[in-house]
Amino acid sequence: MSAYPEIRPGCSLLIAWQLKDKRVVLVGGGQVAAGRLVHLLQADALVTLIAPSSNLNNEVRYRITTDPLAMSRITWLDRLYEGPHDLDGAEMVLTAIDDNEASLKIWEDAKGLKIPVNVADVPPNCDFYFGSLIRRGALQVMVSTNGRGPKLAALIRQRLEDALPPDVDVAIEKVGRLRELLRDRAPGVGGKLGRDRMQWMTSICETWDLGELAQLDEPSMRRLLDEGWDHNKKVLKHDDIFGRRFWKHAFLEESDAIWFAGGVLIGGLLAIMHLRRRI
């Protein structure tokens, strides 16, 4: 038995493709195109949409005529696809039309220009597939069946989404902010410092659960760094940060709290003795 992971061929390379401000050509204006358009806009892509107005469904029409954010990112060509010149400057091409002959022509043009292309519902003509996506803030989880069962991917995605804690997106944002503060405090790329930062952040994420991470705020993050990272990279627990807040919120230091508790106890004993004398 090897100590290394088993190679299991036949899967796709799942990556988070960065499309911010990159040109993507989308051919089609129906229901499938509407879904593709949402994915592209959420990825901050610049979209060239090629579809005659007579072929637009209600959602696509809304995006290009009413939605301010979408309108600022979409260039709409009110016509059919014409040829390779429609793909100038594109870094990705998507087709979502019912015309198989036209889809094949677009695929051939894209391949000739070495542009990654996806032809909806035709897996052999796809350089990549769209999976079923979970989106919670910065969290994205994709379920893919490599084009074999899109409906099954959607059902599996729903089960996974139902299992996620409600504040997972908040926890991710807080961890991201803590990483920023750590980099500000310990700047640098690579080397031992980079490894130490990664190990410390990993240990925090393993020590705190998602609900606890979601409770982090700026003061508690800075305290984690002050009393943890700056003290030999110690990993503080949730109770180390939040467990002593009562005394601080009550304007009492811990030593004052001990005297306060002692005073309450002595006062109680004196009251009991006084009642006994009266009886």
Q: Treating both helix axes as pointing N-terminal to C-terminal, what angle do 168-185 and 191-207 enclose, rounded to 10 degrees?
A: 150
Q: Please state, as a whole number, how many other Cβ atoms lie within 10 Å of the Cβ of residue 278.
A: 5
Residue for token digits 């409906």? Answer: 151
Q: Is residue 167 annotated as part of the catalytic site, yes or no?
A: no
Integer Cα distance of 82 and 52 in angstroms: 12
List alpha helices for 12-97, DSSP H: 31-42, 58-65, 68-73
Cβ atoms of residues 63 and 71 within 8 Å: yes
What is the CB neighbour count within 10 angstroms for residue 17? 11
| Type of residue at 244 | R
- 107, 81 contact by CB (below 8 A): no
- Sign of the CA dihedral with 169 first, then 170, 171, and 173 last: positive
Catalytic residue among 67, 121, 127, 196: 121
- How many angstroms separate the CA atoms of 51 and 37, rounded? 13
Query: Comparing C-alpha atoms, which of 56, 27, 26 is closest to residue 41?
Result: 26
Q: Using an 8 Å Cβ cutoff, are 134 and 161 in contact?
A: yes
Active site residues: 121
